[in-house]
Amino acid sequence: MPIPIIDLFAGPGGLGEGFSAFRHQGIAVFKIGLSIEKDPLAHQTLELRAFFRQFPDKQAPSEYYQRLSGLISREALFEKFSDEAENARREAWHAELGSKNFSSETVDKRIRDTIGQSKDWVLIGGPPCQAYSLVGRSRRKNDPTFASDEKHLLYQQYLRILAMHRPPVFVMENVKGMLSATVNEAGIFQKIRGDLSEPLKAVPEANQAVPLGYKLFSLVCNQPDLLGEIPPQNFVVRAEEYGIPQARHRVILLGIRSDWPHIPDILRRAKKQIPIEKAISDLPRLRSGLSKEDDSGENWLAAIRALAGSSALAESAVTPALRWAIKKVLSNMSDKLQRGSEFVTGTPAPKFAKTWLRDPKLKGFCNHVTRGHIREDLHRYLFAAQFARLMNQTPSLEHFPSELLPDHENVDEAITGAMFNDRFRVQRRRRPSTTITSHISKDGHYFIHYDPAQCRSLTVREAARLQTFPDNYFFEGPRTAQYHQVGNAVPPLLAYQIARIVARLFVANS
């Protein structure tokens, strides 16, 4: 029987996807028993993926792919396969941990019902991390409510379930910023590390009669954290070092109950890093939209080509070589490119992790549609992308001609070296992408496509590829919500590698 997984703060399901996809000799080792997510749209994504997993490998019905291509509705799909849909609803629970609407007793019963008599199971998840992130802390440094923000302490919901249900193994993920985060001058990470090692001390309502402790391990170095001996930085997993086409650095803790005597393996470093172009170059080329003006291919091209006659290109900040390169790409741009849609027909052919990403039944690309940008941002995007191509670096604000600088109050401060000097960041084609974050839902300035002729930010599907979501993973909701889901997720292919380590622990204990 597969080992049950309880997934807390599941988001769209990236961590759970990696575990549920892991196979040993063709047999599933883990099964998502329950995934809990409060966001209604992320929950819809989670539920649809749970439906997909009700079918044996490579045997999802044609109607699933019709749903992905927009030919039938979600309701029609679930109605035709009502048993599988009901199982998916039981697996993916729309609930908010810690909310008055979902008592601890209700949550505990749902977990007990899911685990049943199984003694072998795994708790996974990442408490919401906005309060720990460096950007979030910077933006709220003068906010008097920051120290009392419940997001600081949502990990206590994770901790409570750990203490009450005592899984033999847990995996907890969070942002790197938690290592330096403090509340009331106390270090967050130090407190979390202590609480996870001895959860009964922090959860008095748990059964205190039976001792409970956990040994914490890093996934990148062979050393148990017995007395807080592991330097905090050693818990950081740099995803680009493990075959993920993205420089995503996250804290990941592997906890093993103290009565298990095992030392886990560590992640295996990839032989080489995966550049962004290997992850997304097979996706159909698209143009950006033109916002606040009539959007057509002709108008889009005319708006961009207005840059050629702009005084911006005459400024001394633009070298002759860069000026020539920009004018060349402008002359070769086409107004025939489309903006894409929620499903674009085509033949996916990724240049890495082919068996992981591709699904032969899927005759196209989901969630591959561009956003609109104002004319001035299109000029900035084209300048930045061509600058990066020519100079082999993404430009900072001081590299921009004055005419292309954004009309923001703090531009001068940013140019002198303060925060957000790189607010227009090009993803360099021969390197892993920068971290795909939830901020991608706000604007595309940090996620400019490396191809200046497309002159746009990344699509949801491109971001999902960089996160290593399989192509048949569909994100529900409006585009902003899709971006947010992708940015908050754990890369499933990284989670798969963690699942391999966890699976070996259970074999060793059998």
| Residue 93: inside a domain | yes
Domain identity same for 256 and 355: no
Of 227, 229, 235, give the one whose Cα is nearest residue 253.
235
Residue 123 is part of which domain span? 3-273+490-509
Domain identity same for 216 and 293: no
Domain identity same for 375 and 430: yes
Domain identity same for 19 and 136: yes
| Residue 192: inside a domain | yes
| Residue 471: inside a domain | no
Domain identity same for 236 and 318: no
| Residue 279: inside a domain | no
Domain identity same for 139 and 39: yes
Residue 5 and residue 121 in contact, taking contact as beta carbons nearer than 8 Å: yes
| Residue 463: inside a domain | no
* Separation in Å, CA 488 to CA 10, 15, 421, 443: 10, 11, 24, 15
- Angstrom distance (rounded) from CA 496 to CA 485: 19
Each of the 510 residues of the chain gets a pLDDT tens digit; together they read 899 999 999 999 999 999 999 999 999 999 999 999 999 999 999 999 999 999 999 999 999 999 999 999 999 999 999 999 999 999 999 999 988 889 999 999 999 999 999 999 999 999 885 555 444 434 445 544 444 445 556 888 999 999 999 999 999 999 888 888 776 667 788 889 999 999 999 999 999 999 999 999 999 987 655 556 788 899 999 999 999 999 999 999 999 999 998 889 999 999 999 999 999 999 999 999 999 999 999 999 999 999 999 999 988 879 999 999 999 999 999 999 999 999 999 999 999 999 999 999 999 999 999 999 999 999 999 999 999 999 999 998 889 999 999 876 555 555 555 555 567 999 999 999 999 998 888 888 999 999 999 999 999 999 999 999 999 999 999 999 999 999 999 999 999 999 999 999 999 988
Supply the pTM of this predicted model.
Answer: 0.93
The count of domains in the chain is 2
DSSP state of 165: H
- Angstrom distance (rounded) from CA 424 to CA 230: 37
| Residue 484: inside a domain | no
Question: What CA dihedral angle connects 348, 350, 355 and 356, to 10 degrees?
Answer: -100
Domain identity same for 349 and 435: yes
H or E segment at 193? helix 188-197
- Angstrom distance (rounded) from CA 299 to CA 408: 27
Domain identity same for 318 and 265: no
Domain identity same for 319 and 184: no
Domain identity same for 292 and 252: no
Residues 6+ apart with CB under 8 A from 204: none
